[in-house]
Structure 1
Amino acid sequence: MADDEIVGRYSDLAHRALRGEPITDCSAEAFTAGGFGAVGYTDTEGLPEGAVRASLGCGNPVAVAELRAGDKVLDLGSGGGIDVLLSAGRVGPHGHVYGLDASAEMVELARRNAEQAGAVNVDFLHGSIEDVPLPDLWVDVVISNCVINLSDDKGAVFAEAFRVLRTGGRLGISDVVSLDDADPALRAEAGQRVGCPAGTLTVGEYRALLQSAGFVNLAIRLTADHGGGVHSAIIQALKPAGSPGMVIRPMRDDDAEQVLGIYQAGLDTGNASFETAAPSWEVFSQGRVLRYVAEDTETGQVLGWVAASPVSGRCVYAGVVEHSVYVHPGCQAHGIGRALMTAFIAASEDAGVWTIQSGVFPENAASLTLHQALGFRVVGTRERIGRHRGVWRDVIFLERRSAIG
């Protein structure tokens, strides 16, 4: 189903809700059996009947979003406004909640419901969840209720959610997903039955897209079973935390010049690596995974980077990586390395990495201190392991074992 058809369908549902009619976005039988709509809520007392009646979700993202007084919240695909109104009550008068919907009729319905509820700390926006009309780093929490499965470009949705979230911001989503081993035909049939015309993501695909956008601490918990390997689910994730004025995000190809410049500056100190010259971007990029940069939010300058490489192509070592972390020489002692490493460790846990290892020169006291503070242990010292600039050097070998699994 094309985007304009989806918008048209939900606009028609909004018209029916405005007339006071009950609505569903799939068969009434599937809607009831799947636990869709207002059945997932226990705290709708005091909400306008129209907001409750127009609920088309597959869960209660507000219940898992850990909303706090004063938070700014964005609801992607806000429909009749039930999650916006519930969130508005939780964030209080000093917080604010934005609802975004592609259907102008749904926006009209939600505004009417907000007026009836007397909610003054809300705004409803008409627009696309793939192109959110809000500035960067604007909200503390992004929620969504059974809407992302409707998008034909789910990667763009996650990228926009990451963009508008402040550092350390939270993502709390209810959505419909498929098991990784679900039969494609049964999966497609179940998706159509419960109203997912754009197709559901598998759990693995969902995780991969969230990671690609930059999210960490991923959790996907299956809830209702709709048959055919299709389930409702609660999805939670975090945007990596950073100091004020800094964001941790995935490394991009257009970061090449700055990343390699920071790399070379580190090599020039003589205490970062046996290498003496940074490689080409093609060589640098080959095989490196879990790549992140720290970026100055005002200037766009890359302040540091972290990346890892698999230690071996043998399957037995599939969860073992060796990493490097470098900080711009003019930005030392600002917590950048720690923020990068914290995000990297969280991402490695999400990716199933069970051992992170690294070799550090004994003279690099700052790196040793940082790693040990973040749970790395010294395994041993490899004495006179190589010559560097004509001098035999020792290397301290460190590793961090995952506590997960």
Structure 2
Amino acid sequence: MPQHESGDTPHAEVTARYGALAEAARAGEAVVAACGEEAFAAGRFGAAGYEGDEAAGVLPEGAVRASLGCGNPVAVAELAPGERVLDLGPGGGIDVLLSARRVAPGGIAYGVDATPGMVALAEGHAREAGVDNARFLHGRIEQIPLPDGHVDVVVSNCVISLSADKPRVLAEAYRVLRPGGRFGVSDVLAHPGLDPAQREEAEREVGCTGGTLTADEYRAQLLAAGFTDIRITPTAEAGAGLHSALVRADKPPAPGGFTLRPMQERDAGRVLELYRVGIEEGQATFETEPQSWEAFDTGKLPLHRYVAVEEASGKVVGWVAAGPTSSRAVYAGVAEHSVYVASEARGRGVARALVEALVASTEAAGIWMVQSSVFPENTASLALHERAGFRQVGRRERITQHHGVWRDTVLIERRSPLVD
């Protein structure tokens, strides 16, 4: 369960409620969230969500009884031996214990919970089950007590919807994942079309969630955090306009020693410096001076910009960003991109990782075409984009002068096979 500041009364009440449920579970009492027992089972919430999972049959009865989730994210997480997996808000520990069995030998399953009673309960269940590769940590899912790039997979079960700061939770999940890591959670979502009052009433009626998102809102927040390849699959009705769903996404891969993350305002100086170097080299752009950060920021789509960071130094060594090709509505699905990489990082797969992350990001947002204009002399860029699935559409001859010389450009584009 997420932990919130002491002055945040509604969420302090949530934390207190789940602490009380932990005490009830330790006492052997039946544990049902506020949804009500009948709705809990009908919506495949709690233990009902694990029917058919053979691994669940070997868990302590108390772990199953204390399950307050809305599905079985572990069943679709495709865990492999040796991996590290993190469960956000593990409650009684059922998903951590299931994960621990799947990643053994050699793997570790972590659980981060803000309720001390739940941490103690889960640790007891791990001992009872004889699982020695489970680790339960007391902490907030908005501030995960693990280092960057530490886990291969992040799972969660009906917990992110309870956080008052979902963007922070998703950003933290992205941070602790290794490049190429996977995000797979069960959560409660709202049907589209509910106005704020209706959504609030639905959350009050169902009772086991607060601050739900629609699928489109969830997708936008995942994109803002940097995730790509986003898939949201409804699984069961929760009643009153809410439903449970499996939410899956990936952190973009990167070559060894580097990681990709969303571009932020604090990167402005380095981004513009790399842009300036590209201008001086003479083969990247017609521009003769870098834009201001304000002009750059305004001209780029906010959800489709990444930087590549050298892990050892924390230095930004490359960036990619896309802007709208036109302000006309008919071109809403077409974007134009640029990619720049520092000389010391070239030839190491950084540029390709950036371009492929941008492609995956735009596809997840429904953009059907990404394009750019490249000087024909920039053979490295043309080869890079060809490997990333771009094709040359045509050559525009003597389109304008650059430092007093007429230059040609090659128009390249990639049409998404995934976006209709």
Is the counterpart of residue 200 in structure 1 residue 212 in structure 2? yes
| SS of residue paired to 2:20 | helix
| Structure-to-structure mapping, 1:274-285, within 5 angstroms | 274-285=286-297
SS of alignment partner, residue 22 of structure 1: coil
Structure 1 Cα separation of the partners of residues 261 and 416 of structure 2: 22
- Give the share of equivalent positions with the same residue, in percent: 56
What is aligned with 1:185? 197
Aligned equivalents of 1:279, 1:19: Cα separation in 2: 64
Residue 188 of structure 1: how far off its partner (Å): 2.1
In the alignment, structure 1 residue 31 sits paired with structure 2 residue 23: no
> For 2:262 and 2:185, how far apart are their aligned partners in 1?
21
Deviation at 1:291, TM superposition (A): 1.0
In structure 2, what is the Cα distance between the partners aligned to 1:373 and 1:98? 38
**CA deviation after TM superposition for structure 1 residue 29, in Å:** 2.1
Gap runs ≥5 in structure 1: none
**One-letter amino acid of the structure 2 residue matched with residue 394 of structure 1:** D
**Pair 1:381-2:395 in alignment:** yes
2:21 matched to 1:7?
no
1:307 and 2:321 are equivalent in the alignment = yes
What is the match of residue 167 of structure 2? Answer: 155
Tell me how far apart the structure 2 counterparts of residues 145 and 167 of structure 1 sit (CA, whole Å).
Answer: 23
CA deviation digits over 1:74-111, x for unaligned, max 9?
A: 10000000000100110012000111111111111101
8 A Cα contact 1:190 1:226, kept in partner: no
SS at match of 2:156: strand
SS at structure 2 position matched to 1:395: strand
Q: Which piece of structure 1 moves more, 198-207 or 10-19? A: 198-207
Is 2:125 the partner of 1:117? Answer: no
The CA deviation at 1:197 is 4.6
2:345 and 2:400 map into 1 onto residues whose CA distance is: 30
1:331 corresponds to:
345
1:3 partner amino acid: H
**Which residue matches 1:400?**
414
The structure 1 residue matched to 2:176, chosen from 156, 164, 186, is: 164
- Asked whether the 8 Å contact 1:144–1:173 carries over to 2, the reply is yes
Output aligned runs, 1:362-381, within 5 Å: 362-381=376-395
Higher alpha-carbon deviation: 348-357 or 223-232: 223-232
Distance 1:383 1:180 in 2: 49
Q: 1:70 touches 1:96 (CA, 8 Å); kept in 2?
A: yes
Residue in 2 that maps onto 1:271:
283
Q: What value does the CA root-mean-square deviation take over the aligned residues?
A: 1.1
Q: What runs of 5+ residues in structure 2 fail to find an aligned partner?
A: 1-8
**SS in structure 1 of the partner of residue 58 of structure 2:** coil
* Aligned 8 A contact 1:149 1:196 in 2: no
Aligned partners of 1:22, 1:193: CA distance in 2, in Å? Answer: 21
1:343 to 357, 367, 374: 357
Distance 1:99 1:176 in 2: 20
Residue 250 of structure 1 corresponds to 262
> Which stretches of structure 1, 4 residues or more, deviate above 6 A after TM superposition?
none
2:151 — aligned with what? 139
Instruction: Give yes or no for the alignment of 1:320 onto 2:354.
Output: no
Normalising to structure 2: TM-score of the pair?
0.94
CA distance in 2 between counterparts of 1:206 and 1:138 reads: 24
Aligned counterpart for 1:356 among listed residues 347, 370, 374? 370
Structure 2 residue identity aligned to 1:362: P
Give secondary structure in 1 for the equivalent of 2:18. helix
Q: How far 1:61 moved relative to its partner?
A: 0.5
Contact 1:144 1:174 in 2 (8 A): yes
